[in-house]
Amino acid sequence: MIRLVHCNVWGSTKIIFLGGVWYFLTFIVDYFSNFFCYFLKGKGECFSKFVEFKMFVETQIGRS
């Protein structure tokens, strides 16, 4: 069972990466011991990327 997830939004960068990316959203899941990174053009995308991440994790562990 996942008990701890670390999340961080990093940016805005001084250099535009990957076609307009200004921010990075990172998740570290203690259960998987993995690092997930999402590239964002704006901070307004954080919630939709969180929902995407949550759905991914739920499918991987088979639980909500």
Query: Rounded CA gap, 49 and 39, in Å?
Result: 9
Domain boundaries, the chain: 5-61
Predicted confidence at residue 48, as pLDDT, reads 95
**Which DSSP string corresponds to the chain?**
----EEEEEEE--SS-BTTTB-EEEEEEETTTTEEEEEEESSGGGHHHHHHHHHHHHHHHHT--
Predicted confidence at residue 1, as pLDDT, reads 59
pLDDT tens-digit readout, 35-48:
899 988 888 999 99
User: Would you place residue 26 in the very low, low, confident or very high pLDDT band (cuts 50, 70, 90)?
Assistant: very high
Predicted confidence at residue 47, as pLDDT, reads 94
User: Would you place residue 4 in the very low, low, confident or very high pLDDT band (cuts 50, 70, 90)?
Assistant: confident
